[in-house]
Chains A and B, each alone.
Chain A
């Protein structure tokens, strides 16, 4: 919880109403973002994203596994988020469980698409090596290192960057004559396949404070919110996930308005992110 005096609360709310926030930003302006790739050598892909003083790390690990019986033609992706107690004392022990679960579910909803696989950011059938026998299991882990609001957007951005950094080793499969036997798999050490991240969406959270909504809220601003809507938008300007937080109800027209604003903002955010990714890859 953020402890704020009445005066500070008034200042934050008043600033948002006048389109000039406490740190000098406009309502629909993000904090400065910095992106770094390849921060975890053991992972197949990783990234660190800073948004103001919010800092998150995402890592992508690929392991060979067996596809499930129900979906023999698909690989598996699991997304976990961990909030480190170094970020805030309240994350200690089981304190972060609810938040971690909420963030993981929101990210899964935005990245994995419908049950049939339509609209998924990661095409699960591209992870298959041998139908029904061998597939890649992709483990996406997010870590909150420092928390100052807008964790979901930062995590989604970090995952997008980490996936673009991910190389999946090329595998050579030697199928034995008897099809029942386990195929022999030879994982290449130096040949990697780049991951297609063109359809990975970004998430934009609009936080409603008073009558107005803002993007990239700090934790002080989040403490004043009545509700927040997180919209994930992909490159084709399609909505591929939506979650609402906060107790207060919203009129349907307000939600539709928020979606269209989020769509607009997301396109700018995505182009900033793309140029950051390019810069980070060059720096590596």
Chain B
């Protein structure tokens, strides 16, 4: 009985680990060959995943947006401007309150998304430079982001989706903020990485950019990078951000023409 039970035991963690290791081996092989390898989803290195974005999924919010990039699915609601909490000190500029949460089923291992505690602060930093906070003194705008499914490049997608939701809510902004990240493997740079690619990357770089003002609002980098590679990666991201921003503008135009 016990022997049969052991052979029939199903252990997801170990097999998942094995599968990942296989993929890692494959990546290693590609790196050794140093050739352009096909990515798991058939993209080339500098291709982004197709972006699907839509405004207004939640009706209770002042503005909301839904974004789907490959497997990554994010929903952002914006509430306000509404009166700041009584405990807050008086402020003659508005407040931007950002919160990012993950559903428990967003990641392959349940509840793992809570690792990303810093995302709320990062979202705030990426957006605060774009929102005209002086236009709503004494009040707070809440930005709540929920990651339904985590499929890589979560934070950049949250940022882009949040700026679309802010625009949908009619919050005054200097410009839309879009964000794109890249992963580096050896000397190769790949754009818009999936979670598998992120798990084995040598380094990553994320840019949040205001295309019309040509300003970078947030930039983070991990891993070891040379000067030239940073320049290349940042320029690649800025170009992708500009294109993503056009998509955001299209969506906003669609929404307003529907309203008429």
Interface residues of A (CB under 8 A from B): 69-70, 98, 101-102, 105, 109-110, 112-116, 118-119, 227, 229, 234, 238-245, 247-252, 255-256, 259-260, 263
Q: How many interface contacts (CB-CB < 8 Å) are there between A and B? A: 113
Cβ-defined contact, A250 with B216, below 8 A: yes
- Shortest beta-carbon distance from A81 to chain B in Å: 12
Main secondary structure on chain B at its contact with chain A? mixed
Known A-B contacts A248-B129, A249-B215, A251-B215; the reply to A116 vs B200 at CB < 8 A is yes
Does B110 have its Cβ within 8 Å of any Cβ on chain A?
no
The list of the 5 closest CB pairs from A to B, nearest first, reads A119-B224, A249-B215, A114-B223, A118-B202, A242-B221
Cβ-defined contact, B203 with A242, below 8 A: no
Cβ-defined contact, A109 with B220, below 8 A: yes
> In the complex, which residues of chain A have a beta carbon less than 8 angstroms from the beta carbon of B230?
239, 256, 259
Partner among A112, A113, A252 whose Cβ is within 8 Å of the Cβ of B235: A252
Cβ-defined contact, B222 with A251, below 8 A: no
Partner among B14, B130, B227 whose Cβ is within 8 Å of the Cβ of A239: B227
Closest to B131 in A: A247
20 contacts between A and B (CB under 8 A): A69-B13, A70-B17, A101-B117, A101-B118, A101-B121, A105-B121, A114-B202, A114-B222, A115-B198, A115-B200, A116-B201, A118-B202, A118-B224, A239-B221, A244-B216, A249-B129, A249-B210, A249-B217, A251-B215, A256-B234
Does B125 have its Cβ within 8 Å of any Cβ on chain A?
yes
> In the complex, which residues of chain B have a beta carbon less than 8 angstroms from the beta carbon of A244?
125, 216, 218-220
Cβ-defined contact, B121 with A239, below 8 A: no
> In the complex, which residues of chain B have a beta carbon less than 8 angstroms from the beta carbon of A114?
184, 201-204, 222-224
Known A-B contacts A238-B226, A242-B220; the reply to A252 vs B234 at CB < 8 A is yes
Complex interface residues of chain B between 160 and 210 (CB less than 8 A to chain A): 184, 198-205, 210
**CA of A259 to CA of B219 in the docked complex: distance in angstroms?**
12
Known A-B contacts A105-B118, A113-B203; the reply to A119 vs B125 at CB < 8 A is no
Cβ-defined contact, A119 with B220, below 8 A: no
> In the complex, which residues of chain B have a beta carbon less than 8 angstroms from the beta carbon of A98?
121
**CA of A47 to CA of B13 in the docked complex: distance in angstroms?**
40
Cβ-defined contact, B14 with A69, below 8 A: yes
- Shortest beta-carbon distance from A281 to chain B in Å: 27
**Contacts beyond the supplied A113-B202, A249-B217: 19 A-B pairs with Cβ under 8 Å:** A101-B121, A105-B118, A113-B223, A114-B222, A118-B203, A118-B223, A239-B224, A239-B230, A240-B224, A241-B221, A242-B205, A242-B220, A244-B125, A244-B218, A245-B125, A250-B216, A252-B234, A255-B219, A256-B230
**CA of A47 to CA of B160 in the docked complex: distance in angstroms?**
42
> In the complex, which residues of chain A have a beta carbon less than 8 angstroms from the beta carbon of B184?
114
Cβ-defined contact, B202 with A249, below 8 A: no
> In the complex, which residues of chain B have a beta carbon less than 8 angstroms from the beta carbon of A115?
198-201
Partner among B216, B223, B224 whose Cβ is within 8 Å of the Cβ of A249: B216
Partner among B200, B215, B226 whose Cβ is within 8 Å of the Cβ of A250: B215
Encode B10-44 as 1/0 by CB contact (under 8 A) with A: 00011001001000000000000000000000000
> In the complex, which residues of chain B have a beta carbon less than 8 angstroms from the beta carbon of A116?
200-202
**CA of A266 to CA of B227 in the docked complex: distance in angstroms?**
15
> In the complex, which residues of chain A have a beta carbon less than 8 angstroms from the beta carbon of B17?
69-70
**CA of A277 to CA of B175 in the docked complex: distance in angstroms?**
48
Cβ-defined contact, B13 with A119, below 8 A: no
Encode B65-81 as 1/0 by CB contact (under 8 A) with A: 00000000000000000
Does B214 have its Cβ within 8 Å of any Cβ on chain A?
yes
Complex interface residues of chain B between 217 and 260 (CB less than 8 A to chain A): 217-227, 230-231, 234-235, 238
Instruction: Point out which of B129, B219, B224, B225 has the most chain A C-beta atoms below 10 A from its C-beta.
Output: B224
Cβ-defined contact, A252 with B238, below 8 A: yes
> In the complex, which residues of chain A have a beta carbon less than 8 angstroms from the beta carbon of B222?
109-110, 112-114, 119, 240-241
**CA of A72 to CA of B130 in the docked complex: distance in angstroms?**
44
**CA of A263 to CA of B198 in the docked complex: distance in angstroms?**
27
Instruction: Point out which of A70, A101, A248 has the most chain B C-beta atoms below 10 A from its C-beta.
Output: A70
